[in-house]
Amino acid sequence: MRDIIVVGAGPAGLIAGAEAAKAGADVLVLEEDAVVGKPDHCTGLVSRVGLERLIAPSPSFVLNDIKGARIFSPSGKQYDVVTDETKAYVIDRTKFDLELAKIAERSGVEVAMGKAFPQDEKSKVIVNAEGVKGRVSRLLGFDTPRSIQAVQMDVEVDDFEKDMVELHIGRHAPGFFAWRVPRGDHVRVGLACYRGVPLELLRNMIETDRNFARLKGGKSLGILPGKVVVGGPLRKTVLGNAIAIGDAGGFVKPTTGGGVALGGSIAQMAGRVAAQHVLEGRPLKRFEKDWKDSYGREFRVMKLAARIFSNMKEEELERGIASAQRAGILGTISGYDLDLQRKAVNRILESRLLRFAVMPFLRSLF
């Protein structure tokens, strides 16, 4: 009888496992894939502050320092938000996950690769960190988080800015956005959408949008299909002796689909609570109270913002971005925490930009 079995050797699973093992629990991590960190479907963009909460950034897995963002409106107008300091990192997820696996093993975690759940071994607690697959979630009785389809493509090009990311709003990615992220010697371009076929939309974007003209002559290094979790945390993240974390628990920012840093912080909570449950008899349900106390309001505000954004028409997006630029809000919100977005969203809603949110919100109700 194991103390804790963690399903999935992604960041959330490895972080939760390491935290539980440090507290004295016997932890086994099961990963159905043969290699940690592969396949890699992640954009790799994480906030500087969020990453530093989890681990010291290292050249072994950090590909680029990001100091700004270039935002393109539906009509193609460009808005640059640039800072003097590093706001985010682009990480190599395979190398990052391998580093987390080393930390977990040094903490006493056994990591078993090529092993799917369930195994013959039993445990007092199961931590589900399988991602968006849903197989283990269904076995354990959890809901599956709401997600939308996405696709990415790595392209080898010579001319790109290594400290800027690009966001393309509207048109190419209905209800969400497209992106271009520098990754060492190439760029990763992709999109997620509520409507349409992502790969068709991506290819059309590269072929027809003048802002992607340089990519047309670049060498494609591969296509990466995937999903982006947009529904926020599950209604129940603890069922019986099981906890759901990471993408499986919906601990992903509904506004951007990013979950490595914020999900990692919540995974630390899960690991501590799981260890205290098996070692001290404390209620496993405390995990839900802990994450809601710390991050519940953040997720509620981000869900509202994402709901409004996904229901905005292109002309509303166009006017809203232009107004935000004139009011200096685009530059202002760059100073907020990129993971804890409630203050930034509130800053937008308290401004005159609120008028652009009324009709999209009403549309979302019907």
Are 221 and 328 within one domain?
no
Maximal C-alpha separation, the chain: 62
Are 24 and 97 within one domain?
yes
Are 96 and 16 within one domain?
yes
pLDDT at residue 333, rounded to an integer = 67
Number of domains in the chain: 3
Are 131 and 217 within one domain?
no
Are 107 and 39 within one domain?
yes
Q: The domain containing residue 255 runs over which residues?
A: 2-44+92-146+231-295
Are 190 and 251 within one domain?
no
pLDDT at residue 335, rounded to an integer = 62
- Whether 20 maps to a domain, the answer reads yes
- Whether 74 maps to a domain, the answer reads no
Nearest to 183 by CA among 44, 51, 87, 57: 44
Secondary structure class of 8 (helix, strand, coil) = coil
Are 129 and 159 within one domain?
no
- Whether 319 maps to a domain, the answer reads yes
Nearest to 277 by CA among 265, 264, 287: 287
**pLDDT tens over the chain, length 366 residues:** 999 999 999 999 999 999 999 999 999 999 999 999 888 888 999 999 999 999 999 999 999 999 989 999 999 899 998 888 999 999 999 999 999 999 999 999 999 999 999 878 899 999 999 999 899 999 999 999 999 999 999 998 877 888 999 999 988 899 999 999 999 889 999 999 999 999 999 999 988 888 887 787 778 888 999 999 999 999 999 999 999 999 999 999 999 999 899 999 999 999 999 999 999 999 999 999 999 999 999 999 999 889 888 888 899 888 888 888 887 777 776 666 667 667 777 777 677 776 766 666 666 666
Are 138 and 253 within one domain?
yes
Are 236 and 257 within one domain?
yes
Nearest to 323 by CA among 303, 353, 346: 353
- How far CA 177 is from CA of 227, 310, 340, 345, in Å, comes to 13, 9, 20, 17
Among candidate residues 295, 319, 337, the one where a domain is terminated: 295
- Whether 29 maps to a domain, the answer reads yes
pLDDT at residue 325, rounded to an integer = 85
Are 105 and 6 within one domain?
yes
CATH of the domain at 158: 3.30.9.10
